[in-house]
Structure 1
Amino acid sequence: MAFDSLADFLAMGSHGPYVWSAWGVTLGLLVVCVIVVRGESRTVRRTLRRRLRRGAVAASTPSEASHEG
């Protein structure tokens, strides 16, 4: 094993603060990306459902042109 103990592993030869902060920032950004994409996806699905409902309602109601004789 490259490190003798868990403390040596976490210290990373005195580069630990840099290494672990880089991992933390990367993980944080990935989590934020997932949250943002899920929110946008939910918004797009909601908008599409509304449009489909409006289209179905518009298709089921007779238009003004069909009443003109």
Structure 2
Amino acid sequence: MEFQFASLADFLAMDGHGIYVWIAYGVTAAALIALAVYPSLRRRQLQRELQRQQRIQQRRQQVESDRIKTAEPA
């Protein structure tokens, strides 16, 4: 079996096209990683926002119930 390139340096240089090839590989890898990581980050963000909204709603309900209790005649 014969290899296309004589050395690792020749392989990385790819007859002068190496910089473009490796940048393309890097951009592709970064995009794939972002596509894999973004949904989990977004899910965490949405869970935190939902918890925040639930806390706000509970506080409003507590304030409303306290106001009703103080407004009732004894």
- Report the TM range for the smaller structure's normalisation: 0.5 to 0.7
Q: How many positions carry a matched residue from both structures? A: 48
Which residue in the other structure is 1:35 paired with?
Answer: 48
Is 1:50 paired with 2:72?
no
How do residues 1-69 of structure 1 correspond to structure 2 at under 5 angstroms?
15-60=28-73
Identity of aligned residues (%): 8
Moved segments of 4+, more than 4 Å: none
Query: By percentage of residues, which structure has more helix?
Result: 2
TM score, norm. by length of structure 2: 0.56
Provide structure 1 residue ranges, at least 5 long, that are not aligned to the other structure: 1-13, 62-69
Amino acid of the structure 1 residue aligned with 2:70: V
Give the TM-score taking structure 1 as reference length: 0.60
Rg comparison, structure with higher value:
2
